[in-house]
């Protein structure tokens, strides 16, 4: 099975093949998680790091009355619970939105990898910084963007993220989540999600067929959202030492992500 984290890091970082193979071997133990079940619950005391290999998942928080907020949608190649490296408890839960396969790395093994390879250690901290940047961008969207803008922004973001792991083609990618999931991520009711998607369809920006999304006018969708992919940091991490060789970028990478059709 192709490891999407290795694919992502090969595209976005300057890790050597030896480092990439170390990570691939570390991800050899996997767990199948049925759809709509927890990878780990809220308040979990972590002893392992989970990396999404197949399927879609989400971080979530439940309010006392059962309402749910999704602060992060996870796609293959994402780390589900990186904060568990340093925190005693993980305050948000992680649930499988679809059937998932996750690689399970004991935290002791992760720390051994980081000690063995300073480059891997730097990349892991870079991944945490990217997560923080994405979280901040989502907060801005919830606070200041309209429903149409929020939806357009998320669809643009997913295109870029899925491109880095080879899961989009010609501005088309799977969108296997429900409208309720989208509503919980965007702070909208299911009815409002449906109305917003219909609006984007009506403008000729997107179409949805059999849980596959096609973006027909990427520039138009970007303009509606005010989308700028800088916060995804697809240029990779900065060199540890100034003046060191520039971080290698994958073939076709651009400021809007690799292989995006205009």
Give the pLDDT of residue 239. Answer: 77
| pLDDT value of position 51 | 97
Token pair for 44: 């979990």
Range of the domain at 209: 4-232
Q: Which candidate, 32, 25, 35, places its Cα nearest to that of 3?
A: 25
Q: Look at residue 242 in the predicted model and tell me its pLDDT.
A: 44
**What's the pLDDT score for residue 241?**
54
- Cross-strand bridge partners of residue 54: 101
- Alpha-carbon torsion angle 5, 187, 139, 178, nearest 10: 10
CA distance 261 to 217: 9
The answer to whether residue 122 sits within a structural domain is yes
Per the CB < 8 A criterion, the answer to whether 138 and 146 are in contact is: no
State the pLDDT at residue 171: 96
Residue 210, in any domain of the structure: yes
Tally of structural domains, the chain: 1
Residues 205, 224 contacting (CB under 8 angstroms): yes
C-alpha closest to that of 261 among 145, 135, 173, 153: 173
| C-alpha–C-alpha distance, residues 70 and 62, integer Å | 9
- Residue 109 maps to a domain: yes
Nearest to 139 by CA among 69, 228, 197: 69
| Rounded Cα–Cα distance for residues 230 and 92 (Å) | 26
Residue 7 CA to residue 51 CA, distance in Å, equals: 13
Length of the chain: 262
In a domain, 51, yes or no: yes
**45 assigned to some structural domain:** yes
pLDDT of residue 221: 98
Taking the CA atoms of 262, 10, 101 and 134 in sequence, report the sign of the dihedral they define. Answer: negative
Q: Which CATH number fits the domain that encloses residue 42?
A: 2.60.120.10
pLDDT of residue 246: 42
* DSSP line for the chain: ---HHHHHHHHHS---HHHHHHHHHHT--EEEE-TTSEEE-TTB--SEEEEEEES-EEEEEE-TTS-EEEEEEE-TT-BS-GGGGT-SSB-SEEEESS-EEEEEEEHHHHHHHHHH-HHHHHHHHHHHHHHHHHHHHHHHHHHH--HHHHHHHHHHHHHHHHHTTT--BTTEEE--S-HHHHHHHHT--HHHHHHHHHHHHHTTSEEEETTEEEES-HHHHHHHHT--GGGG-TT-PPPSSTTSPPPP--TT--TT-TT---
Q: What residue has token string 């399970």?
A: 104
Residue 247 within any structural domain of the chain: no
Count Cβ atoms within 10 A of the Cβ of residue 184 and give its class: 0-12 exposed, 13-18 middle, 19 or more buried: buried
Is residue 24, in this structure, part of any structural domain at all? yes
Digits of tens for pLDDT over the chain (262 positions)? Answer: 579 999 999 999 999 999 999 999 999 999 999 999 999 999 989 999 999 999 999 999 999 999 999 999 999 999 999 999 999 999 999 999 999 999 999 999 999 999 999 999 999 999 999 999 999 999 999 999 999 999 999 999 999 999 999 999 999 999 999 999 999 999 999 999 999 999 999 999 999 998 999 999 999 999 999 999 999 999 999 776 544 444 444 434 443 544 444 3
241 is a domain residue: no
């Amino acid at each position: 099975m192709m490891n999407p984290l290795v694919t992502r890091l090969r595209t976005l970082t300057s890790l050597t093949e030896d480092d990439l193979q170390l990570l691939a071997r570390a991800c050899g133990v996997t767990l199948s998680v049925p759809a709509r079940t927890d990878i780990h619950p809220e308040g979990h005391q972590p002893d392992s790091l989970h990396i999404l290999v197949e399927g879609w998942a989400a971080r979530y928080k439940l309010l006392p009355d059962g309402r749910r907020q999704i602060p992060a949608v996870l796609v293959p190649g994402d780390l589900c619970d990186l904060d568990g490296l340093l925190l005693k408890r993980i305050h948000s839960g992680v649930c499988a939105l679809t059937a998932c396969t996750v690689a399970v790395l004991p935290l002791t093994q992760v720390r051994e990898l980081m000690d063995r390879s300073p480059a891997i250690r730097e990349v892991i901290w870079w991944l945490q910084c990217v997560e923080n940047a994405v979280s901040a961008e989502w907060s801005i969207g919830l606070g200041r963007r309209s429903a149409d803008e929020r939806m357009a922004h998320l669809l643009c973001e997913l295109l870029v993220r899925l491109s880095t792991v080879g899961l989009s083609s010609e501005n088309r990618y799977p969108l296997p989540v429900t409208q309720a999931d989208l509503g919980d991520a965007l702070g909208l009711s299911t009815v409002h999600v449906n109305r917003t998607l219909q609006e984007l369809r009506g403008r000729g920006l997107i179409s949805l067929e059999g849980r596959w999304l096609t973006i027909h006018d990427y520039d138009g969708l970007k303009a509606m959202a005010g989308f700028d992919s800088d916060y995804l940091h697809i240029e990779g991490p900065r060199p540890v030492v100034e003046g060191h060789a520039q971080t290698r970028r994958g073939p076709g990478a651009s400021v809007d992500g690799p292989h995006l059709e205009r």
